[in-house]
Amino acid sequence: MRLVSLLILAALTAPAPAAEPAANGVRKQAPASSVPAPPPPPENYNPPAAPELPDAGQPEPEVTITTKGTEIHEEYRLNGRLYMIKVIPKKGKPYYLIDQEGSGQFRRSDFESRISIPTWVIKRF
Protein backbone atom coordinates (compact mmCIF):
# COMPACT_ATOMS: atom_id res chain seq x y z
CA MET A 1 0.00 0.00 0.00
CA ARG A 2 2.85 2.33 0.88
CA LEU A 3 4.59 1.56 -2.43
CA VAL A 4 1.46 2.42 -4.38
CA SER A 5 1.16 5.73 -2.53
CA LEU A 6 4.79 6.58 -3.28
CA LEU A 7 4.36 5.75 -6.97
CA ILE A 8 1.27 7.93 -7.23
CA LEU A 9 3.01 10.78 -5.43
CA ALA A 10 6.04 10.48 -7.70
CA ALA A 11 3.84 10.50 -10.81
CA LEU A 12 2.00 13.60 -9.64
CA THR A 13 5.13 15.57 -8.74
CA ALA A 14 7.21 14.60 -11.79
CA PRO A 15 7.48 17.40 -14.39
CA ALA A 16 5.61 16.70 -17.61
CA PRO A 17 7.69 16.52 -20.81
CA ALA A 18 7.41 19.74 -22.80
CA ALA A 19 8.02 18.21 -26.21
CA GLU A 20 7.86 14.84 -27.89
CA PRO A 21 11.05 13.37 -29.37
CA ALA A 22 10.87 12.77 -33.10
CA ALA A 23 12.42 9.90 -35.03
CA ASN A 24 15.44 11.98 -36.10
CA GLY A 25 16.16 13.25 -32.57
CA VAL A 26 14.60 16.71 -33.06
CA ARG A 27 11.90 17.59 -30.57
CA LYS A 28 8.59 18.94 -31.82
CA GLN A 29 6.65 21.50 -29.80
CA ALA A 30 2.88 21.21 -29.48
CA PRO A 31 1.05 23.89 -31.46
CA ALA A 32 0.06 26.87 -29.32
CA SER A 33 -3.55 26.77 -30.55
CA SER A 34 -4.16 23.33 -29.00
CA VAL A 35 -3.21 24.52 -25.51
CA PRO A 36 -6.23 26.01 -23.68
CA ALA A 37 -5.96 29.47 -22.20
CA PRO A 38 -5.43 29.59 -18.44
CA PRO A 39 -8.42 30.59 -16.28
CA PRO A 40 -8.64 34.21 -15.15
CA PRO A 41 -7.06 35.05 -11.80
CA PRO A 42 -9.43 34.98 -8.80
CA GLU A 43 -9.47 38.76 -8.27
CA ASN A 44 -10.72 39.33 -11.85
CA TYR A 45 -13.20 36.46 -11.87
CA ASN A 46 -16.87 37.43 -12.07
CA PRO A 47 -19.12 34.35 -11.87
CA PRO A 48 -22.20 34.39 -14.07
CA ALA A 49 -25.47 35.24 -12.39
CA ALA A 50 -27.64 32.30 -11.39
CA PRO A 51 -30.63 31.88 -13.67
CA GLU A 52 -33.93 32.80 -12.10
CA LEU A 53 -36.46 30.03 -11.88
CA PRO A 54 -39.86 30.79 -13.32
CA ASP A 55 -42.52 31.17 -10.65
CA ALA A 56 -45.32 28.74 -11.39
CA GLY A 57 -47.69 30.65 -9.12
CA GLN A 58 -48.00 27.60 -6.87
CA PRO A 59 -47.26 28.26 -3.19
CA GLU A 60 -45.10 25.66 -1.52
CA PRO A 61 -46.66 23.56 1.25
CA GLU A 62 -45.74 24.15 4.86
CA VAL A 63 -44.37 21.00 6.50
CA THR A 64 -44.64 20.49 10.26
CA ILE A 65 -42.80 17.51 11.76
CA THR A 66 -44.08 16.15 15.05
CA THR A 67 -43.34 13.04 17.09
CA LYS A 68 -46.22 11.01 18.51
CA GLY A 69 -45.00 8.05 20.54
CA THR A 70 -42.57 6.13 18.36
CA GLU A 71 -44.01 7.53 15.11
CA ILE A 72 -42.98 10.65 13.21
CA HIS A 73 -45.79 12.65 11.58
CA GLU A 74 -45.11 15.11 8.77
CA GLU A 75 -48.13 17.39 8.29
CA TYR A 76 -48.46 19.12 4.91
CA ARG A 77 -50.53 22.32 4.79
CA LEU A 78 -51.37 24.51 1.83
CA ASN A 79 -52.90 27.93 2.52
CA GLY A 80 -53.39 26.86 6.14
CA ARG A 81 -55.42 23.74 5.25
CA LEU A 82 -54.07 20.32 6.29
CA TYR A 83 -54.30 18.02 3.25
CA MET A 84 -51.80 15.21 3.87
CA ILE A 85 -50.01 13.50 6.77
CA LYS A 86 -47.02 11.23 6.23
CA VAL A 87 -46.70 8.72 9.08
CA ILE A 88 -43.27 7.16 9.57
CA PRO A 89 -43.50 4.30 12.09
CA LYS A 90 -40.42 3.11 13.98
CA LYS A 91 -40.75 -0.28 12.26
CA GLY A 92 -42.36 -0.78 8.89
CA LYS A 93 -42.97 1.27 5.78
CA PRO A 94 -44.16 4.88 5.87
CA TYR A 95 -47.73 5.56 4.77
CA TYR A 96 -49.82 8.61 3.95
CA LEU A 97 -53.16 9.88 5.24
CA ILE A 98 -54.76 12.04 2.54
CA ASP A 99 -57.83 14.29 2.63
CA GLN A 100 -58.99 13.92 -0.98
CA GLU A 101 -62.30 15.84 -0.79
CA GLY A 102 -61.21 18.57 1.63
CA SER A 103 -63.80 17.44 4.19
CA GLY A 104 -61.33 16.60 6.96
CA GLN A 105 -61.76 12.84 6.48
CA PHE A 106 -58.34 11.27 5.96
CA ARG A 107 -57.89 7.97 4.15
CA ARG A 108 -54.81 5.83 4.16
CA SER A 109 -52.86 5.75 0.91
CA ASP A 110 -49.59 3.98 0.25
CA PHE A 111 -49.37 5.33 -3.32
CA GLU A 112 -49.22 1.70 -4.43
CA SER A 113 -51.81 -0.49 -6.01
CA ARG A 114 -53.66 -2.69 -3.53
CA ILE A 115 -54.55 -5.22 -6.23
CA SER A 116 -52.53 -8.37 -5.77
CA ILE A 117 -52.56 -10.84 -8.59
CA PRO A 118 -52.67 -14.47 -7.43
CA THR A 119 -49.54 -16.32 -8.48
CA TRP A 120 -50.10 -19.76 -7.02
CA VAL A 121 -50.03 -22.88 -9.22
CA ILE A 122 -53.40 -24.61 -9.68
CA LYS A 123 -52.34 -27.45 -11.92
CA ARG A 124 -49.24 -28.35 -13.91
CA PHE A 125 -49.34 -30.21 -17.19
Mean pLDDT in residue range 41-55: 71
Q: Find out whether 95 and 80 touch, Cβ atoms under 8 Å.
A: no
Q: Give 59-85 pLDDT, tens digit per residue.
A: 788 999 999 889 999 999 988 899 899
**How far is CA 43 from each of CA 4, 40, 50, 57, 100, rounded to the nearest angstrom?**
38, 8, 20, 39, 56
The Cα 5–Cα 11 span in angstroms is 10
Q: Is the pLDDT of residue 16 over 60?
A: no
Helices (H), 14-61: none
Query: In sequence order, what E strands does the chain have?
Result: 19-21, 27-29, 62-68, 71-78, 81-88, 95-98, 107-109
Cα atoms found within 13 Å of the Cα of residue 79, Cβ hemisphere only? 3
Q: Give every CB contact of residue 103 below 8 A, 6+ residues apart in sequence.
A: none
pTM of structure:
0.45
